[in-house]
């Protein structure tokens, strides 16, 4: 088996937002957009909804930004009862549909699976996923033990997507 990294970027989903509530009587949903500004979420056409454990295509019938936030009407969701079933689900698009990030910026999905190393060069494990906490974002690294590393510039020393690793200002025994 080859040691080359497999490019699975076309399979990865970038989360753009989350359905946080219902609106009205025709199945509209309130969306928390993670894009900046929030209305940029409408620039992506091929939405996917993470529902029932899998990413499924979703078609936008209508959408707008109001004083109440981002409101969306999705095809097939026609009643408040239907809409309630989707509250809490994530909205995403395939990574391949996203524009390339600026130099020094990364999509979190591009960092998942990278080998994580401490500042002494020791392997901590692999980047498993990211968590949002009230104190800020955390990168969860799984190896011999699990590390929860604050995902801030001061802790990120180097990102090398080509060789498949990220170096943190972190030690194996922390």
Joined together, the tokens standing for residue 109 give 């999905």
Output the pLDDT for position 148: 96
Do 35 and 25 meet the contact criterion of CB atoms below 8 Å apart? no
- pLDDT by residue, tens only, the chain of 174 residues: 333 343 444 578 999 999 999 999 999 999 999 988 999 999 998 999 998 889 999 999 999 999 888 999 999 999 999 999 999 999 999 999 988 888 888 888 899 999 999 999 999 999 999 988 888 889 999 999 999 999 999 999 999 999 999 999 999 888
Distance CA 78, CA 2 (A): 49
Distance CA 128, CA 80 (A): 36
Domains and CATH numbers, the chain: 13-97 (2.40.30.60), 108-168 (2.30.30.240)
């Amino acid at each position: 088996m080859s040691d080359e990294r497999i490019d699975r970027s076309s399979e990865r989903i970038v989360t753009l937002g989350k359905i946080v509530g219902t609106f009205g009587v025709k199945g509209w949903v309130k969306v928390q957009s993670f894009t900046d500004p929030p209305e940029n979420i409408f620039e992506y056409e091929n939405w996917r909804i993470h529902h029932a454990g899998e990413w499924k295509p979703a078609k936008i019938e209508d959408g707008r930004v109001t004083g109440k936030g981002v409101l969306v009407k999705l095809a097939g969701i026609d009643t408040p009862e239907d809409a309630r079933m989707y509250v809490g689900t994530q909205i995403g698009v395939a990574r391949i549909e996203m524009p390339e990030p600026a130099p020094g910026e990364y999509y979190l999905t591009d960092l998942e699976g990278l080998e994580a190393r401490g500042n002494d060069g020791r392997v901590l494990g692999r980047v498993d996923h990211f968590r949002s906490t009230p104190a800020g974002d955390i990168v969860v690294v799984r190896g011999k033990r699990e590390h929860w590393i604050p995902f801030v510039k001061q802790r990120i020393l180097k990102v090398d997507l080509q060789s498949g690793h990220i170096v943190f200002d972190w030690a194996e025994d922390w």
